Amino acid sequence: MTHDMPTPGAGLIGKRVNVLDKGWIELQDLMGNDLAIVNAARTSFLGESKGTDKDKKLLFYLMEHRHTSPFEQVEFKFRVRAPVVTWWQWVRHRTWNFNAQSGRYVAFEEDDFYVPAVWRKQSPSNKQASLGQLSESEGQLLFDALGEHYARGYALYKQALEAGVARELARVFLPGFAVYYTWVAKVDAHNLMHFLHLRMAQEAQYEIRVYAEVIYEHFFKPALPWTAEAFERFVLGDVR
């Protein structure tokens, strides 16, 4: 039996949302929707959709009772531009599939470096967190210093390239954590929710949290509205 639930993901493919100063996330591909999750669960007894109300109820049951594998039937593929400080944490999520731009093939441009909007201060109580920010005048000195640092690092990189050094080695002159890289990143909906739960939390570093929030608000919610509702009710709670 089929029913008339619209396909919410339609129109999302190709959508790009800007993140941080020079980054973005684009949805390259999407497989499945809320109904695919319900139908996967009903495969257990060779059944299909039983209409909107029962389908939604089943999906909520799956989420509440951590019956997770049906959520793995939906796949998202993103193209993401993010600085290394973000990737450094993102690639720890082993259930994603990644392919990355290579600094061995492609030379970096002068503008390929992350500039934070403000300087967050070290939290006195939480060793890995930030709290508050520097004043405008204190911050300006550091922004000027950062601009000089990037310009100097990039000039040395170019100097090394011009001297014939290979791209793979010349990049040691670049300010590593700040360099923007473009990756393709694919994940199923179950493992994406795990990532979102961890990385939308207040304890997550801002530079990855903003990517997680864009994924959730601009791609996950419109693609899987029932799943998002159930996720907020049974999993997310007050992490945001």
CA nearest 179: which of 23, 46, 3, 11?
Answer: 23
- Catalytic site positions: 199
Q: Is 197 in the site for ligand FAD (CB under 6 A)?
A: no
- Applying CB under 6 A, does 186 fall inside the site for ligand FAD? no
Residue 6 identity (one-letter amino acid): P
Measured from the CB of residue 92, what is the shortest distance to ligand FAD in angstroms?
Answer: 4
Measured over the CA atoms of residue 206, residue 66, residue 79 and residue 36, the dihedral's sign is negative
Those residues whose C-beta lies under 8 Å from the C-beta of residue 129, and which sit 6 or more positions away, are 123, 203
Interface of this chain with ligand FAD, residues 204 to 223, rule: CB under 6 A:
204
The span from the CA of 219 to the CA of 235, in Å, is: 18
38 binding ligand FAD? (CB under 6 A): no
| Dist CA 216 CA 83 (whole Å) | 19
Which of 93, 120, 167, 186 contacts ligand FAD by CB under 6 A? 93
* Identified binder of ligand FAD from the candidate list 17, 160, 184, 198, rule CB under 6 A: 198
Do residues 228 and 220 touch, judged by C-beta distance below 8 A? yes
- Determine the residue with CB nearest ligand FAD: 94
CB of 70 to ligand FAD, least distance (A): 17
Site membership for ligand FAD, residue 3 (CB under 6 A) = no
Going by the DSSP 8-state scheme, the letter that residue 106 receives in this structure is S
Residues near ligand FAD (CB under 6 A):
92-95, 191, 194, 198, 203-204
